[in-house]
Structure 1
Amino acid sequence: MKEAKLWTRNFRLVILASAIGTVGAIVGGFALAFLVFDETGSTLASALIVAIQLLPHLLLPVLIAPFMDRLPRKSFLVAGDIANAVLLAGMGLWLLFFNFSYVGYLAVSLLLACIGAVDELAFTSIYPELIPEGAEQKGYAVSSMLYPVLKVIMAPLAAVLLDTLGVAWILIAQSGLSFAAAITESFIHLDETERQHRTPYSLQAWAGDIREAVQYLKEERGLRSIYEYMAVTNGVASGFSPILVAFFRTFPGFTAAMYSAFSVVEFAGRTIGSALQYRIKIPDKKKYGLVFFVYQVYESMDMCLLWLPYPLMLVNRGICGFLGSNSAILRSAAVQRYIPEKLRSRINAFDDVLITAGASVFSLMMGFLGEILDYRWCVTIGGAIAMLASWLLIWGRRKDVRRVYETGDDEMTQ
């Protein structure tokens, strides 16, 4: 069978738009993080911004998803980037002429997070339609590689731009990049005429759409198991962040600079893993076994992380980055291919809510453990919880999970 061509016109456009938007988000996010701390001098004020930005992901995707499954998804994608551009430009202009307002920034952060939640859902739902059939693994390898590569390039540049241009001009530049991404996305050609919903959309119809998605998930135990496991492991990983910061700040012989090197080696591992997935085609029948093996190694690596000498910690993070990108690419390609196209936005919305809830719960749990236990034991316990979840949800329901990973394109039905 001839291998599907990946780099079609639509795929090139969506990757270009993603790259443009990601560059702006990396530089803008870096600048804003420093802006809040410089203006308030409070870590609590910064943490409150992060909490505010999580809120829309708990509710908004489920509210919007039924509309997104009935209407052209491209319009959500383009409109989201335009709205983002307008808000960012407004923030930049405000900072040029007026003083910083923390309350105002909280409100704008909430609006930006709402736009981001909708935009992320639209991208997740439309991206599979822009990958040629048979090239899913390569397509997700490219998108997985995009962020770590741009992060390594743009993070040092962001620090230089912050000192030379200042936050206001960075936000205005980010606004221009968001607008450029919207223009690029507008050139994508995707036939969504059958999605034009011409009859009035009532609250009853919305509730019916939600029930349809819930019923589908009830019947798909394998898909549910994958989502539940990802909520646990991603939640535990979110909880590790403050624990690791505290460990490197307080444990003798460790420094914040040593902690920052974690991100470099992990990004390098992710980039290599994504490049490998782009070059090597994994047969459908091998995917479940490979992914379950990765989960065991990944959680084991987390459990022993803080007990290792520092050089081995770096090796540990590099391996986790490499393995994590491989499993993420295989999971994304398999899951998005498996979900019926007409339900994709709603199912992805439930996944988004579940993962956000997991991040909230486990972050609080890890924070509590950090108050009463040695930080090393906190990370070990977190890894053990995620390991247990993988055995209960991925291995314990292996027949159902295997079906999601190993169902070929020719077997899929809408």
Structure 2
Amino acid sequence: MTKTLWTKDFIRITLATSLGAAGGIISGFALSFLVFDETGSTLASALVVAIQLLPGAVLPLLIAPLMDRYPRKPFLVGGDTVNALLYALAGVYLLRCEFSYTVYLGFSLLLACLSAFDELAYSSFYPLILPEGTEEKGYTVSSMLYPVLKVLMMPVAAVLFDTLGVARLLLVQSALSLLSALIENKITVAETPRGGERFSLRLWWEDLREAAAYLKREKGLRALYDYMAVTNGMAAGYSPLLIAFFRTAPGFTAAMYSFFSVAEFAGRSLGGVVRYRYTLPEKKRFPFIFAVYQIYEMMDVLLLWLPYPLMLANRAVCGFLGINSATIRQAAVQRYLPDPLRARINAYESVLITAASAVLSLAVGALGEVMDYRLCVSLCAALTLLFCWLSVFRRRGAVREVLRGKEAA
């Protein structure tokens, strides 16, 4: 009998995620304008972004051992409930008090901590909801939610921002987060906590060492994590360079750059439909994913040297291939990971990508100060391509085993 992906629990987690994402897009849009409108400083806005990166580099490793020892649903529900409370307090504060940049920095830090907490809880809990054999479809759906909602909600956010104002939009986000928590609380999937002795600092340290020992012998996982950290870190550095290129290169405009996201969305949407309908055989996963990584980096090498219509085609192809490789990798890796270690290993990946993004984005930005923007992007993409060979291809035997997705205990 064929198993269906769309169980009651999957519908609940998808609906809850959609509500949370929609609210996050609306509030994020409002808050991004709030700081600049109140301070008139791009540095003040940049400092907020920098502060929001800090929890993602530390917090997941601190809380992951707890999530591996206790049921994860309460973490997910509790996180969204606290999120609702914070946004409600922020909305009431802005309705009654003057804006304070110092208070906003503290609020941003709290939200970033909560976001890191929520993301880890979600990534560790979500695989438990997917029926066996439906993992790729499940990750295709989850990968499509945010880009689709962003396209739909950004115009709505702009209208609501002008009509309701920031404070009331934060109250809307609060209501959506609370509704999301209530829906998540209805999920009935069974979890098997490890239990054992009372949690302590010594036990926390032993749990981290257990995860480190597991990663030490898992060369395939490390190869994939290392490559994803580098390619994501480089991509974070490309963004300001692309903006600078479109602002300064003759014949290009900021509006033209905005269509990159449209092209990527179109490619991701088509790729998501293909991935949902068709499953790639096990033996073809590694060749496909490795080929996608090569094409993706070569597309970045060529991007700024192409005529504008081909730039858009470039982004669409990357969107199409990117969602296909990402869902195959995510589904396989989560199947492969032993559930008692899942939160800690996911935390390692999160911390590694956050740290790489912080370091490499600064490095790429500094390189852009002394090098032509096109040359800079091409050079960094070529180095990432080389790193892919030194990590993923070099450990191809171990990576193939991970992509089979059948080794989880």
Range class of TM-score, shorter chain = over 0.9
Deviation per CA, 1:6-56: give whole Å up to 9, x if none. 111111110010000010011111111011111111111111111111100
Q: Contact 1:145/1:275 (CA < 8 Å) preserved in 2?
A: no
- For the residue of structure 2 that corresponds to 1:201, the secondary structure is coil
* Match of residue 290 from structure 2: 292
* Match of residue 66 from structure 1: 65
CA apart distance, 1:406: 2.1
* Match of residue 164 from structure 1: 163
Deviation per CA, 1:344-377: give whole Å up to 9, x if none. 0000000000000110111011111110000001
2:333 is aligned with 1:319 = no
- For the residue of structure 2 that corresponds to 1:195, the secondary structure is coil
Distance 2:180 2:194 in 1: 24
* Match of residue 89 from structure 2: 90
Letter in structure 2 aligned against 1:285: K
* Match of residue 275 from structure 2: 277
Task: Decide which moves more: 74-83 or 399-408.
Answer: 399-408
Q: Contact 2:76/2:122 (CA < 8 Å) preserved in 1?
A: yes
Distance 2:196 2:304 in 1: 57
Deviation per CA, 1:204-261: give whole Å up to 9, x if none. 1111000000000000000000000000000000000111111111111111111111
* Match of residue 74 from structure 2: 75
Note the 1:310-349 alignment, pairs <5 A. Answer: 310-349=308-347
TM value normalised by structure 1:
0.97
Note the 1:386-397 alignment, pairs <5 A. Answer: 386-397=384-395
Deviation per CA, 1:243-290: give whole Å up to 9, x if none. 111111111111111111111111121121111111001111111110
Count of residues in Structure 1 that have an aligned counterpart in Structure 2:
409
2:219 is aligned with 1:221 = yes
Distance 1:31 1:271 in 2: 26
Q: 1:103 to 1:146 in 2, by over 3 A?
A: same
Distance 1:156 1:262 in 2: 17
- For the residue of structure 2 that corresponds to 1:265, the secondary structure is helix
* Match of residue 355 from structure 1: 353
* Match of residue 14 from structure 2: 15
Distance 2:266 2:98 in 1: 39
Distance 2:230 2:408 in 1: 30
* Match of residue 255 from structure 2: 257
Distance 2:40 2:340 in 1: 48
Distance 1:165 1:158 in 2: 10
2:61 is aligned with 1:43 = no
Distance 2:316 2:357 in 1: 23
Distance 2:401 2:325 in 1: 16
Letter in structure 2 aligned against 1:237: A
CA apart distance, 1:407: 4.1
Distance 2:383 2:38 in 1: 39
Q: Contact 2:65/2:343 (CA < 8 Å) preserved in 1?
A: yes
CA apart distance, 1:390: 1.0
Q: Contact 2:194/2:340 (CA < 8 Å) preserved in 1?
A: no
Letter in structure 2 aligned against 1:57: G
- For the residue of structure 2 that corresponds to 1:298, the secondary structure is helix
Distance 2:29 2:387 in 1: 34
Letter in structure 1 aligned against 2:339: E
- For the residue of structure 2 that corresponds to 1:7, the secondary structure is coil
Distance 1:119 1:198 in 2: 25
Distance 1:148 1:277 in 2: 16
- For the residue of structure 2 that corresponds to 1:252, the secondary structure is coil
Deviation per CA, 1:51-94: give whole Å up to 9, x if none. 11110011100000000000110000000001111111111111
Letter in structure 2 aligned against 1:65: A
Letter in structure 2 aligned against 1:17: A
Q: 1:50 to 1:202 in 2, by over 3 A?
A: same
Distance 2:6 2:346 in 1: 25
* Match of residue 234 from structure 1: 232
Q: Contact 2:339/2:408 (CA < 8 Å) preserved in 1?
A: no
CA apart distance, 1:197: 3.1
Q: Contact 2:337/2:408 (CA < 8 Å) preserved in 1?
A: no
Distance 1:92 1:315 in 2: 42
* Match of residue 184 from structure 2: 185
2:305 is aligned with 1:307 = yes
Letter in structure 1 aligned against 2:29: F
Letter in structure 1 aligned against 2:133: G
Gaps of 5+ in 2: none
Q: Contact 1:273/1:322 (CA < 8 Å) preserved in 2?
A: yes
| Aligned-residue CA RMSD (Å) | 1.0
CA apart distance, 1:100: 0.8
Q: Contact 1:81/1:178 (CA < 8 Å) preserved in 2?
A: yes
Task: Decide which moves more: 245-254 or 14-23.
Answer: 245-254
CA apart distance, 1:199: 3.3
Distance 2:304 2:408 in 1: 46
Note the 1:359-378 alignment, pairs <5 A. Answer: 359-378=357-376
Distance 1:131 1:333 in 2: 10
Distance 2:264 2:32 in 1: 21
CA apart distance, 1:196: 6.5
CA apart distance, 1:4: 2.1
Q: Contact 2:292/2:321 (CA < 8 Å) preserved in 1?
A: yes
Q: Contact 1:3/1:134 (CA < 8 Å) preserved in 2?
A: no
Distance 1:248 1:74 in 2: 45
Note the 1:89-168 alignment, pairs <5 A. Answer: 89-168=88-167
